[in-house]
Structure 1
């Protein structure tokens, strides 16, 4: 039997690793914040340091079989201006998907199976030092699978 202290310790570590994100308008995804980890960021606004790579893990369970899944990653920089994150927006995630126990998976993804999408993306030195709202979605041809937004600051 596992001592209660060990269970509580692992629960606290898991909670500390999650990033506090908001659902995209019109989405209803239970426990979304518990399933997104931006590293290193647990509490917005996330600091996106120029010249580094930002890591992300998204845990998701598709409601239907999916042949292809792509990222939609943009930054709302204010005044109605939305720009894509270079090098990650519009790309397939199929080679960066794992099963819940860490085994490599690939598309097609099966309905009802929980997957982990793990990736990193560059914060280029050419990006301006500003506040942004990062909009991140995983989508197929018929729409969003999961979607979140998080305030950030490029520094």
Structure 2
């Protein structure tokens, strides 16, 4: 009986301590472990994006190339059509790049260096309530995705 209780407790611990990430790797760009990503109020997919809320995003990555600059490439795919996130898509990503110790790194990025990206964006009232696939990429000159990932999400009120 004691071993059965011990086994059940061990299984319960594994189930409760297993953390799934809402982030999915995408094709192209550096492939990082999904647990390197934090999205406010989202531990499982689909992430709930409430209108008129601010979503905070943070992820760790190691640059695989030297990059003099970076742009945010952020859009929601709706029925396979990309719709840019207003105010984030196409903006300079360099101000959101930090070193692991928390100090500002900015650009240029150096190959082999660890970085932390921190940003936030507003879920606008004009966004329709629906399920979307959010694509987030950091794009270096020449339209090369240095890093990209997808997040299944649902826009709600």
TM over 0.5: yes
* Whole-Å separation in 2 of the counterparts to 1:129 and 1:26: 29
Q: Hey, what's the Cα distance between the residues in 1 that align with 2:69 and 2:121?
A: 20
Aligned residue number for residue 4 of structure 1: none
SS in 2 for 1:152: strand
Aligned length: 139
Larger radius of gyration: 2
Where structure 2 has 5 or more consecutive residues not aligned to the other structure, the ranges are 1-16
Partner residue of 1:100?
Answer: 100
Q: Shift of residue 29 of structure 1?
A: 1.3
Q: Structure 1 residues 30 and 57 mapped into 2: Cα distance closer, same or farther (>3 Å)?
A: closer
CA RMSD across the alignment: 1.7
Moved over 2 A (4+): 25-28
Q: After superposition, what is the alpha-carbon deviation per residue over 1:105-140, rounded to whole angstroms, capped at 9, x for unaligned?
A: 111111111111101001001110010000111110
Q: Per the alignment, do residues 66 and 28 of structure 1 end up closer, same or farther by CA in structure 2, a change over 3 Å counting? A: closer
C-alpha distance in structure 1 between counterparts of 2:32 and 2:82, whole Å: 27
Show the counterpart of 2:51.
50
